[in-house]
A and B are shown apart, each in its own frame.
Chain A
Amino acid sequence: MPALIKMTLRILLNRVKTDTLLKKNMTKFIKKEDLYKLLNSFLKDFEIIGPKQIANKGIFYEPLESIEDLYLGELFAIEPAKKFFLESSECLFHSGFLDGKATVQDAPLPDKRRIIIGLRPCEAKGLILLDKVFDSEYKDRSYINNREKSVIVGLACAKPDKSCFCTSMDGSPTGSRGMDVLLFAVEDGFIVEIYSDKGKEAFSSLGKEPDEHQNKTLSAYKQKRSELIGKNFKVPGDLSPIFESDYWDKVSFPCLSCGVCTYLCPTCHCFELVDEGRKMYRCNDGCAFSNFTLEASGWNPRPTKKERYRQRVFHKFDYFKKIFGENLCVGCGRCIRHCPVKMDISEIVSNAPSGAGK
Chain B
Amino acid sequence: METKNIYLPRLAEITDIKQETPDIKTFKLKLSLVYKPGQFVEFSVFGEGEAPFCISNSPTRGPGIECSVKMTGKVTQALHELNIGDTVGIRGPYGNGFPVENLKNKNILFVAGGIGLAPLRSLINYCLDRREDFKSITIVNGARSSNDLVYKDEYPIWEKAKDTRLYLTVDCQEDNWSCMVGVVPRILEQIKPVCQDSVAIVCGPPIMIKYTMPVLLKLGFCPEAIMTTLEMKMKCGMGKCGRCNIGPLYICKDGPVFSYAQVKNYVS
Contact = CB atoms under 8 A, between A and B. Distances in A.
Interface of A: 92-93, 95, 101-104, 106, 109, 133-134, 137-141, 144-145, 240, 243, 269-275, 277-278, 280, 282, 285, 287, 292-297, 299, 301, 311, 314-315, 318-319, 322-323
A138 B76 contact: no
Pick from A101, A275, A294, A295 the residue with the most CB of B within 10 Å: A275
Contact of A315 (B44, B236, B239, B245): B245
**B interface residue count range (under 10 / 10 to 19 / 20 to 34 / 35 or more):** 35 or more
A236 to B, nearest CB: 15
B8 A293 contact: no
Nearest to B244: A293
What is the interface of chain A mostly: helix, strand, loop, or mixed?
A: mixed
Given A141-B5, A296-B76, A270 B89 contact: no
A139 B6 contact: yes
Contacts of A134: 240
B2 interface: yes
B248 A297 contact: no
B3 A141 contact: yes
Contacts of A140: 3, 6, 240
Interface stretch (B46-54, B124-132, B220-228): B46-54
Contacts of B48: 275
B242 A141 contact: no
Contact of B72 (A92, A101, A293, A296): A296
B46 A278 contact: yes
A144 B9 CA distance: 19
Pick from B3, B11, B73, B265 the residue with the most CB of A within 10 Å: B3
Given A269-B240, A296-B76, 7 more contacts: A101-B87, A134-B240, A138-B6, A141-B2, A141-B5, A285-B242, A311-B245
Nearest to B207: A299
A104 B11 contact: yes
B233 A273 contact: no
A356 to B, nearest CB: 14
B211 interface: no
